[in-house]
Structures are given as C-alpha cells and as structure tokens.
Amino acid sequence: MSTPSSNARLSWANSVGLWPGAPTDPHMLPGGIGPRAIPLVFDFTASGSNGAAIVTDFTLEEQNGLIGSIQGIFIDNSANPANNFTITFPNCGQKISIPKNSQAIMPIWEPTPLRVTASSAGLVLVPCLFLNMPVAPVVWTAS
C-alpha cells in the first residue's frame, strides 16, 4: 500500500486473483483485469493502539494496475469478542460498522483513489479483503 500506518499489516505480495484460471469477461469489471482482491490486516494489537485509527490508501495499487476501482469489502471481525470494527471512506463519507464476533461483505462507494480509516477498541487483528467487483451487503455472526 502506498501510505499504510505502521499498524496496517500487509499480507500480500501482489493483488490476489480470485478463481485463478477461470475465464473472465473484462467488460464486467473496471479496468478489465478480472476479479481481484487485496488482503489487508488491520492490526490493533500494537502497544498503545487500543482504539487508535489506522489510515491507509490504495493509490499505488490502483495506479500500477494491481486492482481496478474497489467496489466491495469482506471484513472478518469474528476474533473481536467485545467491540465493533468501523471503517470509514472519507471521500464519500461512507461508514461501515461491523458488530463484534461477526463477518460481513459490504459494497463500497468510495471514488479512486481509495482512502480508508479503520478503528476498533480492543487489541485485535481484523483481516479484510478489498474487492474490485460489486457485492451485495450481508452480515453474519461467526460461530
């Protein structure tokens, strides 16, 4: 990522192609690169980061063609037993809050370049996948 906070841990070398080898219609996704995801773990376990916001953006990923415009997100807040995870997209004002012990897939309306502010109380790791495809919103409790 171009300007990740020191608490935003990258768990990728490049963007991840979904369904490798599967035929894709380049007219269905922006940029014609097929379905892609960028995994990112928001790390709130660092000393003193309890409740601190993590700010990052996807400027370089979008400029370098690793992913087209980001249209959806998968959020895994299942390891967070006590607190919501909130992610805000400042350019459009969209705010998504996922309850404790839950996972979600949500659409994103942020224009490029994508900028993100994430927050959660508690010392947790919150894995996310930023997707370049449209998704329908759904939230479920992890068991």
| Torsion (CA) 30, 67, 39, 21 in degrees, nearest 10 | 80
Q: How confident is the model at residue 34 (pLDDT cuts 50, 70, 90)?
A: confident
The answer as to CATH 2.50.20 being correct for domain 35-141 is no
Separation CA 137–CA 62 (nearest Å)? 23
With a cut of 90, say whether residue 3 has pLDDT above it.
Answer: no
Dump pLDDT digits (tens) for 120-138: 987 899 999 999 888 999 9
Give the mean pLDDT of 44-55.
Answer: 75
Residue 2 pLDDT grade (very low, low, confident, very high; cuts 50, 70, 90) = very low
Give dist(CA 22, CA 7) in Å, integer. Answer: 34
pTM reported for the whole predicted model: 0.76
Domain ranges for the chain: 35-141
Contacts 24+ apart (CB under 8 A), 11-14: 11/39, 11/40, 11/41, 11/127, 12/38, 12/39, 12/40, 14/66
